[in-house]
Amino acid sequence: MPKLVVTHKVDDVAHWLASPKREEVFAGVAEDIQTYVKPGGSNEVALTMTITDMAAVEAVINSEAGAEAMKFDGVHPDTMAIYVEG
């Protein structure tokens, strides 16, 4: 099962860290979701997750539920970068 690394900017790091939306939205398509923050007061964050099906993850990200979760979490979708374990 490959890992994904997802980076992006958020409006409020503390809100993003406390949000339950990641677990809710990615339930069933990802496991072991871990969050990371860039030190120094930046609004840049990252997360890693173990996946079994990249198409399923992409479908969740592009779904209405995914868009609503990103909005709730203050994610700037235009800054999102996704890396797949090689």
Residue 69 burial (CB < 10 Å; 0-12/13-18/19+)?
buried
Q: How many CB atoms lie within 10 A of CB 74?
A: 16
Domain ranges, ordered by start, for the chain: 3-84
The model's pLDDT over 10-33, given as tens digits with 9 standing for 90+, comes to 999 999 999 999 999 999 999 999
pLDDT in tens, 37-58: 999 999 999 999 999 899 999 9
Task: Give residue 1's pLDDT band: very low, low, confident or very high (50, 70, 90).
Answer: confident
Per-residue tokens: 67: 């868009």
Architecture of the CATH domain 3-84: 2-Layer Sandwich (3.30)
